[in-house]
Chain A
Amino acid sequence: MATTFEIYSRVVPFMIQGFKLTLFISITSVSIGLIIGLTAALMKISKNPLLRYPATGYIEVFRGTPLLVQILFMSFAYPTIYDVLGDMLNDPLTDLLGFTVNITSTPGTFTNPDPLWDVIIVFALNTGAYQAEIFRAGIQSIPTGQAEAGRSLGLTYAQTMRYIIIPQAFRVVTPALAGEFINMILNSSLASVVAVQELTYWTRQSVSIYYRTLEIWFLTGIIYLTLTLTLSRSMQYFEAKYSVPGLGVAGTRRKG
């Protein structure tokens, strides 16, 4: 029987490959989710119902259904989604961009043979909904006097948000946002159910080849833990670096 070391030396190259994809999925989803989340938060606190209701609906749907269901739905609704999108977008996009756009499903398939970007879109929409609620709470935690002071100087609503409210809200929500980033990394393991070849996918493959369940899953656990610990440490570093006295969690801790 092969020693643990021999097993590890055989599976590690696959693990590294999977780890890279896990990192790519997480970073891409969180970044897109950040933009979606901030936009949805600003829409949700808007007085305009045409902005507020769509944002509320989006947030409720993605926070109110399991992520696994969202992934499987996207996966199996794939031919329908792509064909409907293609009908809607192909002609206008071709006119707009000047080259032929052809969004379509691969004929004769039930799921997307290359589901990576489908999964990233679902992850981005999912984490975007959670981040939207984090940002909304952060923005609304800033005393109204801050906005009043900005407006009284002659700043517009957008400038007040951009230069006064959002910079403060970011400092308030850093810990919650770090938690959501970590969630996203851990949730990315669900991509393995639709055969996206990330870390958990390769772990399952390795286990089914070598039958060394305990050692291989242990290794995977260590890799995820290292990743999340590194992330939470670096968030703490940024939190301290950008902290100002009297603002946010880090700001209430006195330096020195």
Chain B
Amino acid sequence: MPLLEVRDLVKIYDPADPPALDGVSLTVEKGEVLVIIGPSGSGKSTLLRCINRLVEPTDGEIIFKGQNILDPEVDINKIRQEMGMVFQTFNLFMHLKVIDNIRLGLIKVKGMDETEATKIAMTMLEQVGLADKADSYPAELSGGQAQRVGIARALAMNPTLMLFDEPTSALDPELVGGIISIMKKLADQHMTMLVVTHEMGFAREAAHRVIFMDEGRIVEEGPPKKLLQDPDHPRTQEFLKRVVFKTE
């Protein structure tokens, strides 16, 4: 049984506009790294946000660990604990120190006491190399540091699945590498990851499978070698030509 299965997902924001998601189906196996690429407005981010229901899908099914999480009976807050999310704009809690950003979920959601939460938070910060920033405020961090805290905050909840929503798009080019190497390390530890990104390097080296989306649909999917170097679909070829030309 796959860890996550999405069936015929539809999202319509405004009936006057074309649907943001127009019948998307995919599966993610445990330990798999799935990278989603595509032009802006193709529905990649909407898809990712539907999976933890930050965006409510209009139609379709999302089966996570054998349970349809769109069922009104489901406690979505329980499900979200198992899905870590990393945002393009980091979204660190501005009024809390770095360590409290990580402790908040542990204490208020998982019900840990402060000592235990502090221990886990410090371990996470050490893993992303920011133990010395525990008492800083988010506004005092560089973009790269902030995103590493964002990753540490999500990982501290010990999720089964990690969702990355363009984690490097808001970073200065020289800071991208640090985030990518943390994500690769995670992939090596067999974390299940769903990554929306424009980093073709990461897709090539760390992904098990790559999906190309356009206009709310999955156009093509396959192993990174095949999809990134020899895609079948003309729309994929056109997109990759532009992206590769821009970044390399």
Chain A nearest CB from B222 CB (Å) reads: 29
Q: A153 contacts which chain B residues (CB < 8 A)?
A: 80-81, 104-105, 109, 153-154, 157
B246 in the interface (beta carbon within 8 A): no
Once A146-B94, A244-B95, A247-B95 are accepted as A-B contacts, the answer to whether A154 and B157 lie under 8 Å apart by CB is yes
Which residues of chain B (94-120) have a CB below 8 Å from chain A?
A: 94-95, 104-105, 108-109
In the assembled complex, the CB of B185 is this many whole angstroms from the nearest CB of chain A, namely: 22
A125-138: CB near B (< 8 Å → 1, else 0) gives 00000000000000
A163 touches B108 (CB 8 A): yes
Whether the pair A246, B109 counts as a contact (CB closer than 8 A) is no
A177–B92 CA distance with the chains assembled, in angstroms = 26
Contact check, A145 vs B87: say whether CB atoms are below 8 A apart: yes
Residue of B whose beta carbon sits closest to that of A170: B95
Pick from A156, A247, A251: contact of B77, CB below 8 A.
Answer: A156
Which of chain A's residues has its CB closest to B55's CB?
A148
Q: Knowing A245-B139, A245-B140, A247-B94 are in contact, say whether A152-B104 is a contact too (CB < 8 A).
A: no
A183 contacts chain B at the CB level, 8 A cutoff: no
A side interface size, CB within 8 A: 23
CB–CB B139/A149 < 8 A: no
* A133-165 with Cβ < 8 A to chain B: 143, 145-146, 148-156, 159, 163-164
Query: Is A167 part of the contact surface with B, judged by Cβ < 8 Å?
Result: yes
Using a Cβ–Cβ cut-off of 8 Å, how many residues does chain B contribute to the interface with A? 27
- Quick one: given A152-B54, A159-B108, A245-B137, are A145 and B91 in contact (CB under 8 Å)? yes
Q: How far is the CB of A247 from chain B (nearest CB, A)?
A: 5
Contact B77 A155 (CB under 8 A): yes
A168 beta carbon closer than 8 Å to chain B: yes
Interface of B, helix, strand, loop or mixed by DSSP: mixed
Question: Do A154 and B80 touch across chains, with their CB atoms under 8 A apart?
Answer: yes
Given contact pairs A149-B92, A153-B157, A247 touches B83 in the complex (Cβ within 8 A):
no
B89 within 8 A of A: yes
Q: Out of B77, B89, B139, name the residue touching A145 (CB < 8 Å).
A: B89
Cα-based distance from A155 to B91 in the complex (angstroms): 15
What is the interface of chain A mostly: helix, strand, loop, or mixed? helix
Is B138 close to A, CB under 8 A? yes
A44 at the interface (CB under 8 A from B): no
Q: How far is the CB of A165 from chain B (nearest CB, A)?
A: 10
Q: Tell me whether B109 and A155 are in contact (CB under 8 A).
A: yes
Given the complex of chains A and B, what is the CA–CA distance between A183 and B84 in angstroms? 46
User: How far in angstroms is the closest Cβ of chain A from B242?
Assistant: 28
User: What is the chain A residue whose CB lies nearest that of B85?
Assistant: A152
- Contact partners of B93 in chain A: CB under 8 A: 146, 149-150, 164, 168
B152-187 contacts to A (CB < 8 Å): 153-154, 157
Contact indicator B109/A154 (Cβ below 8 Å): yes
**Min CB–CB distance A192 → chain B (angstroms):** 41
Query: Would you give the 0/1 interface string for A233-254, flagging 1 where the beta carbon is closer than 8 Å to chain B?
Result: 0000000000011110001000
State in angstroms the CA–CA spacing of A159 and B105 once bound together: 10
Interface string of B69-84 (1 = CB under 8 A from A): 0000000011011011
Find out whether the CB atom of B139 lies under 8 angstroms from the CB atom of A246.
Answer: yes
Q: Considering the chains assembled together, what is the distance between the CA atoms of A181 and B154 in angstroms?
A: 40
Q: Once the chains bind, are A171 and B95 in contact (CB under 8 Å)?
A: yes
Measured in the bound complex, the distance between the Cα atoms of B100 and A244 in whole Å is: 13
- 9 A-B residue contacts at CB 8 Å? A148-B91, A153-B154, A155-B77, A155-B105, A163-B104, A164-B95, A164-B104, A246-B140, A247-B139
- Give B contacts to A, CB under 8 Å: 52, 54, 77-78, 80-81, 83-85, 87, 89, 91-95, 104-105, 108-109, 137-140, 153-154, 157
